[in-house]
Amino acid sequence: MGGHRLPAVATGAAAAAGVAALALAWLLRRGTAQGGVRSSTSGGAKAKRPDGTAPLKPYHRGMREREYLRLIPEAEMRQLRSLLRRVYAARGWADDVGAREAAWEAVVAAAQEPHNGAWDPSFSPDTVSSQQLQSLLALIERTFLGGLLSDRVRDAKRPPLTIKLGVDRNDPYSWLSGLNDDNIIFVNKNRWRDEISDGNPMNFEGAICRSKLEALAHALGHELVHALVLNFFPAMDARCEAYTADDKHGPVFMLLNKRLFGHVGHASHRLFGAPPG
């Protein structure tokens, strides 16, 4: 079997030895079976320090924030900081741990209300409707981005952000979700069958998720970072190595994902794995 599959059976009592560590580049692939959107990094010259002396180390996973932020060119950094300021103003809170944790809790609670899709925290992907998915996405976008992204999509006459739940025939277990260039977020149905609970939580980029709904909300937050770059900064999305590195999870992605959603790192994994076999 492949190495990118979450345990099919969730067992809270299972030994920690069974932890399945999964690289997010596989789980949250940009693009779908249609292919074509996988970024090709230009592989050009390494970034230079402002004084032109020593080249900076190229981006690699696990790089410290201080190091990877230096890899974002000044012009792009200005654009990103300006966007962050606008988002903070629109949503009413900045890069603040307490406010952010409260926002995640509020999203998960609100999603269970009737007008937001009446989500079951341990939903089955077989019974989820596209209306529920759209409601959840809109809720996360309003809460974390203050509606700026949907405004941008409308003003730029871009296709509306849309979620599709389905199966990638080529690799049905490889990733949780992905974003296409036409603003379609694809959620890989087969990856959402396993239980996530208090006894079998999931670590999603540093966030401990105790329900499938919570994990899905975080996965959608991750995709919204890609959607921000795609819709606000299409040139950056296409060819800025500080974004396109690591399959579009380079320093630009890391910066936004952390400041907007509190997500860190590249791995999502179960805290308790299923027994082997």
User: Least distance from C-beta 155 to Zn ion, angstroms?
Assistant: 25
Could you identify the residue written with the tokens 């509306």? 160
User: Least distance from C-beta 207 to Zn ion, angstroms?
Assistant: 15
In terms of CB distance, is 28 or 71 closer to Zn ion? 28
Name the residue whose CB lies closest to Zn ion. Answer: 28
Q: What is the 3-state secondary structure (H, E, C) of 163-209?
A: EEEECCCCCCCCCCEEECCCCEEEEEHHHHCCCCCCCCCEEECCEEE
**Closest to 268 (Cα-Cα) out of 245, 241, 249:** 249
User: Least distance from C-beta 248 to Zn ion, angstroms?
Assistant: 6
Strands 177-179 and 202-204: unpaired
Contacts 24+ apart (CB under 8 A), 209-212: 211/108, 211/121, 211/122, 212/121, 212/122, 212/123
> What are the residue ranges of helices labelled H in 189-275?
212-232, 234-239, 241-248, 251-261
User: Least distance from C-beta 25 to Zn ion, angstroms?
Assistant: 7
- Could you tell me if 248 and 145 are in contact, meaning their C-beta atoms sit under 8 angstroms apart? no
In terms of CB distance, is 196 or 254 closer to Zn ion? 254
User: Least distance from C-beta 216 to Zn ion, angstroms?
Assistant: 15
3-state SS class at 250: coil
How far apart (Å, rounded) are the C-alpha atoms in residues 207 and 263?
A: 7
Amino acid identity at 276: P
In terms of CB distance, is 14 or 228 closer to Zn ion? 228
In terms of CB distance, is 200 or 257 closer to Zn ion? 257
In terms of CB distance, is 153 or 229 closer to Zn ion? 229
Residues of this chain that bind Zn ion (CB under 5 A):
28
- Residues in CB range of 49: below 8 A, 6 or more apart: 55, 56, 70
**Closest to 77 (Cα-Cα) out of 237, 242, 223, 245:** 242
In terms of CB distance, is 28 or 161 closer to Zn ion? 28
Q: How many CB atoms lie within 10 A of CB 195?
A: 16
User: Least distance from C-beta 183 to Zn ion, angstroms?
Assistant: 15
In terms of CB distance, is 148 or 219 closer to Zn ion? 219
User: Least distance from C-beta 24 to Zn ion, angstroms?
Assistant: 7
